Amino acid sequence: MTRQSAVARPNGVVTGFSTILTVVTVIAVTTGLVLLSHSDDSAVLPYVALLSLGSLTVFIGIWRSTALTAGMVFGVALILHVVAIFGFAAFEDDYFRFIWDGWRLIISGSPYGIAPADFFGKSLPDNGLALTLDGVNNPHLPTIYGPTLQFIFSLAYLFAGTDPAGLRIFFAVINLILVALLLRWTSPEKAALYAWCPLVLAETIIHIHPDGIMAMLLLAGILLAKHYPLLAGLFFGLAAGAKIVALALWPLLLRMGWRAVASAIGTLAFIYGIFLIQGQGAGFDSTGVFAADWYYNPMGFALLDVLLPSSIARLSAALIGIGIIMVLHARTRSLEVAPIAMIFGAILLFAPAVNAWYLLWILPFATKSRMVWPFAAAVALPLSYLTGLNLENPALRDFEVHGMAWTVQIIILLAAIFWDYLRFQREKKAGDPAEVLRTPIAQPQVAVVIPALNEENSIGEVVRDIGSQNWSEPPCIIVADNGSTDRTVEQALAAGAIIVREPKRGYGAACLAGISAAPPDTNIFLFMDGDGADVSEEGPALIKPLTDGAADLVIGSRALGQKQTGAMTFPQQFGNWLATRLVWLIWGTRMTDLGPFRAIRADALDRLNMADRDFGWTIEMQVKAVQQNMRITERPANYRRRVGISKISGTIRGVLLAGNKILYVIGREAFFR
């Protein structure tokens, strides 16, 4: 036996022992929850304690484990689900509505439009339905649950009647399907964080909540997206039909293609249409009541509710949440790393009602990340069961969470979020491309590309000025004529420039033509306008960070330099401010300008695969450089009043076209790539 294997073996023994201990613990915790669920309401404190501590213990036992296999994870999950089926929903009563809805769908074709209270005092087919009706909460409101869930409720009713075991079995099977999908999506250890979590088992099976159905459908859609976009859209549509909150992930459909988008819209319209054509609605009226009035265990919304009137607080929370969600979508680099847990977390952060089972939206997708806060939430949110009703505390309203329990939840979540933030900052600093110097360019071969359209009064002087600067090697100056009808070409040739013609109009098209005409040994490209506004003397300074190996792209920032009076119009300045703020908001990179005066290493330019042929050229270059983690720096660039009238800022049409194209490119790069 080698020394290495002799050292490794004890570690394997320890890891195996830890895994066995974790499995025994989670089985014991689940069994304990089942037994306590059959006790009277006085068991709420030990029940909540076991649920929270059990979730914490399992998380600690699995978080750094490397000894699990897919078969083991699923096998233990199967045992846990079977055990949980014998539980009782002692502290929840939502399942009465599910059974009622299933019966209503079967006998009438729709569970919508008629409140359960309308059946009070009426004859029902059997005593089981009468008991179910008595248990329905908020009976004066018609159901809010979506069509996808209604079909499942009806199948469970056909299978088991009013016995909630039917729902438990159906939800357990669906959750096991989700576990199987997770095992295809992530590692066995990460999948076990969800599959073995006591909170998941309690909320899905013991408490009989269907929120995991939405997560299963969404994950199925994500796994199918690459090869089967139509099916992916189908599952996304069914997910929104289960929980309307699934719409928060629908921007991901844009990355899957138009077929996925059309399939999702068509599916959702179809399943809702089945009920809407019956004329009794589809639960939107009751959903509106809950959205306007329901208040339970809020997190961030609690602060808004203190500072603002209730209706304004709810509107503000919705707008803030939507804004955060859209930024998270825009920052998504690919479908595989979409921050789904963060998206649903943003919803819960500003939701007026936060129930423990809402974590079923988050936890499956948190397994793909290294974030701690979702699993800390699985420890914290069981405390929300400590309400006036469950504690039998007359000092509290029925659905008011005990103040100490609410405070402990907040402390746990804030501590976990802070931990994740510190870890993120450490990893960001360690991987910051700005900390890494590339090989300096000892012999810079600079190609200066000047797109030009009818610039006969300035182009000659611009070419002569750029050529007369103190370059280590004379630059190749290329004027890309974009269909000039004056003497631009003649003036540029006389000044010593190389001419390349691009008759198809467009700033980007001219730049691409200029690049194609550059000598093969070019290692730096410098772009500038031919209207005399850029200061040619600043060219050598602009390329210095590239030759030093300190940057891949250098922007000459007019915002950081001195601008001659009237050099930039208000629309130009506002457009630059808005576009650069959007880049910072979406991608987290601060810039101040989209100016045309810029320099880039040739190898970096090749990787960008530039394609825009008109006004989106500059923003496309900067956004793609950010997306590829290139090192971008800005240098102050002075700016003069141009010679002649600008084709963009000089006309209203040009301003509108340029502004729309810049916003389009930002949106395209954010949501469609």
Is residue 554 predicted with pLDDT exceeding 90? yes
Is residue 5 predicted with pLDDT exceeding 50? no
The mean predicted confidence, pLDDT, of the chain is: 91
The encoded tokens of residue 19 equal 């895994």
In what helix (H) or strand (E) does residue 2 lie, and over which residues does it extend? none
Would the CA dihedral through 516, 517, 521, 524 be positive or negative? negative
Residue-wise pLDDT for 466-508, tens only, equals 999 999 889 999 999 999 999 999 999 999 999 999 999 999 9
pLDDT of residue 374: 96
Say which range, 129-138, 185-194, 261-270, 326-335, has the weakest mean pLDDT.
Answer: 326-335
Query: HSE (CB half, 13 Å, CA atoms) of 562?
Result: 3
Give the residue carrying structure tokens 């700033």: 507
Is residue 653 predicted with pLDDT exceeding 70? no
Distance, CA of 60 to CA of 63 (rounded, Å): 5
> 230 falls in which pLDDT band (50, 70, 90)?
very high
pLDDT of residue 9: 40
pLDDT (mean) for 552-559: 95
The encoded tokens of residue 370 equal 């290294």
pLDDT (mean) for 12-19: 63
Vertex 299: Cα angle to 297 and 305 (nearest 5): 90
pLDDT (mean) for 3-32: 69
Contact 397, 388 (CB under 8 A): yes
Distance, CA of 647 to CA of 473 (rounded, Å): 33
Q: CA of 15: how far to CAs of 66, 389, 443, in Å?
A: 8, 43, 55
Distance, CA of 328 to CA of 368 (rounded, Å): 16
Is residue 441 predicted with pLDDT exceeding 50? yes
Contact 321, 344 (CB under 8 A): no
Distance, CA of 411 to CA of 509 (rounded, Å): 56
The encoded tokens of residue 653 equal 């049409």
pLDDT of residue 64: 77
Give the residue carrying structure tokens 């036996």: 1
Helix (H, G, I), strand (E, B) or coil at 479: strand
pLDDT of residue 520: 94
pLDDT (mean) for 599-619: 94
The closest alpha carbon to 280, from 101, 122, 142, 137, belongs to: 142
The closest alpha carbon to 202, from 69, 54, 61, belongs to: 54
Distance, CA of 480 to CA of 450 (rounded, Å): 6
Residue 341: partners with Cβ closer than 8 Å, 6 or more residues away: 362, 363, 365, 366, 368, 369, 371, 374
pLDDT of residue 670: 85
pLDDT (mean) for 417-440: 77
Identify the residue with better confidence: 565 or 495: 495
The closest alpha carbon to 390, from 38, 637, 41, 648, belongs to: 41
Q: Which residues face 534 on adjacent strands? A: 639
Is residue 2 predicted with pLDDT exceeding 60? no
The encoded tokens of residue 454 equal 């009818």
Identify the residue with better confidence: 447 or 668: 447
The closest alpha carbon to 132, from 109, 101, 170, belongs to: 101
Distance, CA of 88 to CA of 649 (rounded, Å): 70
User: Percentage of the chain with pLDDT > 70?
Assistant: 94
Judged on CB neighbours under 10 Å (0-12, 13-18, 19+), 628 is: middle
Distance, CA of 13 to CA of 6 (rounded, Å): 12
The closest alpha carbon to 445, from 514, 383, 523, 501, belongs to: 523
State the Rg of the chain over Cα. 31
Residue 319: partners with Cβ closer than 8 Å, 6 or more residues away: none
Identify the residue with better confidence: 18 or 27: 27
In what helix (H) or strand (E) does residue 127 lie, and over which residues does it extend? helix 127-135
Identify the residue with better confidence: 476 or 17: 476
Phi, psi of 545 (to 5 degrees): -60, -25
Distance, CA of 116 to CA of 104 (rounded, Å): 10
Distance, CA of 664 to CA of 654 (rounded, Å): 15
Q: How many CB atoms lie within 10 A of CB 127?
A: 9
pLDDT of residue 645: 62
Q: How many CB atoms lie within 10 A of CB 654?
A: 16
